[in-house]
Amino acid sequence: MSKRIVLGVTGSIAAYRAADLASQLTKEGVEIDVVLTDEALRFITALTFHALTRRDVYTRENDGMRDGQPAHISLADRADLVVIAPATAHLIAQYAHGLAPDLLTSLLLATPAPVIIAPAMNGKMWHHAATQDNVNLLSKRGVEFIGPEAGLLACGYEGLGRLWPVAEIAREILARLK
């Protein structure tokens, strides 16, 4: 039976790399429900993911009902795994503190599925005590973090904050789905 994941994409400059992740996983037969935050839509379009996954893509425009249920419950219940890549400092903070103002954050609170987070942000944001406390809180609750890695960041700084290599995130997801 094919496996189904939710891929949450947030408002990071690395959002374009989530398209490659969606493409690689689709080729492996994974059914992907992509959920884009409002801010992610500033960086990449829903159409990109729609074309790559050949499935509906979720934004504020269509976050109402799905299969006779609120979309955040339907997606949360049907997922074998929830992956957030890239995850902003903002998304991590919301999740750590139980804030659920949109589809992605609501389904994170509603899902019984395991959650994997691949952060991407400026190194100073990553090392900030607030972000580190939030990451520790989520890790203690069983959320798995992949990355970030060190390197040249889009903002021009060197540091720890780059999205983990997409092929390795894909490998980790496929291993989890086996």
For the chain, how many helices (H) and strands (E)? Answer: 8, 10
Site string for ligand FMN, 16-55 (x = CB under 6 A): ---------------------x-xx---------------
Distance of CA 67 to the CA centre of its chain: 22
Q: In the complex, what is the shortest distance from the CB of residue 59 to ligand FMN, in angstroms, rounded to a whole number?
A: 12
For residue 87, what is the enclosing H or E element?
A: strand 81-87
Of the candidate spans 8-16, 21-29, 52-60, 133-141, the one that interacts with ligand FMN by CB under 6 A turns out to be 8-16
- 155 is known as an active-site residue: yes
Catalytic choice (65, 130, 155, 167)? 155
Please say which residue, 40 or 46, places its beta carbon nearer to ligand FMN: 40
31 close to 6: Cβ distance less than 8 angstroms: no
166 belongs to the binding site for ligand FMN (CB under 6 A): no
- Closest approach of ligand FMN to the CB of residue 35, in Å: 11
- CA–CA separation, 24 and 98 (whole Å): 31
Q: Is 83 in the site for ligand FMN (CB under 6 A)?
A: no
Which alpha helices (H) appear in 100-162, and where do they start and end?
A: 103-110, 123-127, 129-140
For ligand FMN, the binding residue among 48, 88, 111, 134 (CB under 6 A) is: 88
Query: In which region does residue 156 sit, left (phi positive, over 0), alpha (psi from -120 to 50) or beta (all else)?
Result: left
* Residue in the block written with tokens 């406390």: 133
> Which of 60-68, 83-91, 109-117, 138-146 is the region at the interface with ligand FMN (rule: CB under 6 A)?
83-91
Give the x/- contact pattern for ligand FMN in 121-150, rule: CB under 6 A.
x---x-------------------------
* Phi, psi at 59, each rounded to 5°: -135, -175
Q: Is 161:118 a contact under the CB 8 Å cutoff?
A: no
Active site members: 155
Residue numbers at the binding site for ligand FMN (CB under 6 A): 10-14, 37, 39-40, 88-91, 120-121, 125
